[in-house]
Structure 1
């Protein structure tokens, strides 16, 4: 026997089709209304102080003050967070003499992060009763005066001619940081025969007599020379002509010398 097919009349189907269409239309209406209200809320947010920059943070600075960097960037809390142009801010900051590189990040909801890399300081020139930094670019910060250097670079004392300061700066730029950190002071000690003569005082207690010319190359031998000396020996290391060590006179020899003079 064949199965009987259930026949649904058109009158029964129409209400179900209408209900399905109504639900679909309602879902579409809800979607459109939600999108519309979200758009309205977005517009209100962008036009309100809620979308302004709330905080500017700075990282990576050693010598520069955070307040100065923020001021230099031009970003204020009245600026719209979304309208801050990261490339423009970075370009503005890189015009600063002491800033080597910048990365600007946006941290939702309203924080701007400035990642700074400063130019290294290779020395400090002592003059006019203060100390002026020399950057790795060779530029002296004549507008920046400090009473006490931070100890991150050697102090240049007695340098009266800019010509020799510039040459010394170039040599310091080429000197490995591990060796540069050992230098406390560099005194310019010109003679009639050698206007390039310099006298260094080292942080490990030694002195060094050298010349500006090829200083960075000859100073490479310093750690090797010191490693061959007894730790109790202190004196002057000569690297201007050849390389040799001259120990300080002992107190006994000094007394004998004084008695002979008498």
Structure 2
């Protein structure tokens, strides 16, 4: 072996020392960076920059922003990172009007609350005031914003009957739901709920609530078989028949699937 290829220990030691020094420096820089980062985080968490500056609410129709914020328990000035999201959501969802809620932190100091309220299936009139009826039958009278809706007026129902009625109405197609202007309770000694629907096209629909809402998808096809200039009552039960106001005649009507309406 040639002497030129032999590296002496004396030549290697400075290089080894230099490599170790660089490695130690890199390690020191790494630990110092972690240390200062932790210091910065602690300072940030103790500073006003980590406090909630504003709380925004969206999705609410009936409940006011102030009411929802109060229900959440959040306060401006509290630490934005100490907020327990699941606990806040649970507090908000305790209100019977709220279907579900979610919460997020919007950088740098804003908390956003998004809520989904129960849907409106009608309204009741008390004096000059209109109060919405939600999908579980409850009437909203407090903490509500100004109410406007195309939902039908519900006449003559007590609270228990409203709960039963709205349960039957849950699956109505929007296109047909929007045609119902009023729903009236029919006085009856029978156990079943008998109602009358006042439709926007001028027809009335009568029968048991359960049977009406079970077959109401067929309404467009039923009306298409009637004289457009006639008016009267569509009786829905086991079958369907039409009672004309003009001549007091009754005629059976078929229930046909309307593919266009069901798309």
Q: Same fold (TM over 0.5)?
A: yes
The alpha-carbon deviation at position 246 of structure 1 amounts to 4.1
Q: Distance in 2 between matches of 1:197 and 1:168?
A: 10
Give the CA RMSD over aligned residues. 3.3
1:143 aligned residue: 142
Please say if 1:219 is aligned against 2:194. no
The alpha-carbon deviation at position 169 of structure 1 amounts to 3.2
Q: Structure 1 pair 43/200, CA: closer, same or farther in 2 (3 Å)? A: same
What pairs with 1:83-122 in structure 2 (closer than 5 Å)? 83-122=82-121
1:53 aligned residue: 52
Contact 2:137 2:164 in 1 (8 A): no
2:24 aligned residue: 25
The alpha-carbon deviation at position 110 of structure 1 amounts to 3.6
Contact 1:189 1:199 in 2 (8 A): yes
Q: What CA deviation, in whole Å up to 9, does each residue of 1:189-242 have, x standing for no partner?
A: 436899955433212333333344633225344222112234x42412321565
The alpha-carbon deviation at position 122 of structure 1 amounts to 1.6
Equivalent residue for 2:153, pick from 146, 152, 155 = 155
SS of 2:154 mapped into structure 1: strand
Equivalent residue for 2:198, pick from 197, 201, 207 = 201
Q: Structure 1 pair 146/156, CA: closer, same or farther in 2 (3 Å)? A: farther
Q: Structure 1 pair 146/207, CA: closer, same or farther in 2 (3 Å)? A: farther
Q: Distance in 1 between matches of 2:63 and 2:49?
A: 30
Q: Distance in 1 between matches of 2:246 and 2:74?
A: 62
What pairs with 1:231-246 in structure 2 (closer than 5 Å)? 232-239=228-235, 242-246=239-243
2:133 aligned residue: 134
Contact 1:130 1:146 in 2 (8 A): no
Please give the TM-score of this superposition, normalised by the length of structure 2.
0.76
Q: Distance in 2 between matches of 1:235 and 1:146?
A: 38
What are the ranges of 5 or more consecutive residues in structure 1 without an aligned counterpart?
Answer: 251-262
What are the ranges of 5 or more consecutive residues in structure 2 without an aligned counterpart?
Answer: 248-263
Q: Structure 1 pair 195/142, CA: closer, same or farther in 2 (3 Å)? A: farther
SS of 2:52 mapped into structure 1: coil
The alpha-carbon deviation at position 120 of structure 1 amounts to 1.4
In terms of mean alpha carbon deviation, does 84-93 or 214-223 score higher? 214-223
The alpha-carbon deviation at position 113 of structure 1 amounts to 3.2
2:13 aligned residue: 14
Please give the TM-score of this superposition, normalised by the length of structure 1.
0.76
Larger Rg: 1
Q: Distance in 1 between matches of 2:100 and 2:188?
A: 41
What pairs with 1:49-88 in structure 2 (closer than 5 Å)? 49-88=48-87
1:172 aligned residue: 169
The alpha-carbon deviation at position 5 of structure 1 amounts to 3.2
SS of 1:214 mapped into structure 2: helix
Contact 1:186 1:200 in 2 (8 A): yes
Contact 1:100 1:118 in 2 (8 A): yes
Contact 1:124 1:131 in 2 (8 A): yes
Q: Distance in 1 between matches of 2:30 and 2:100?
A: 47
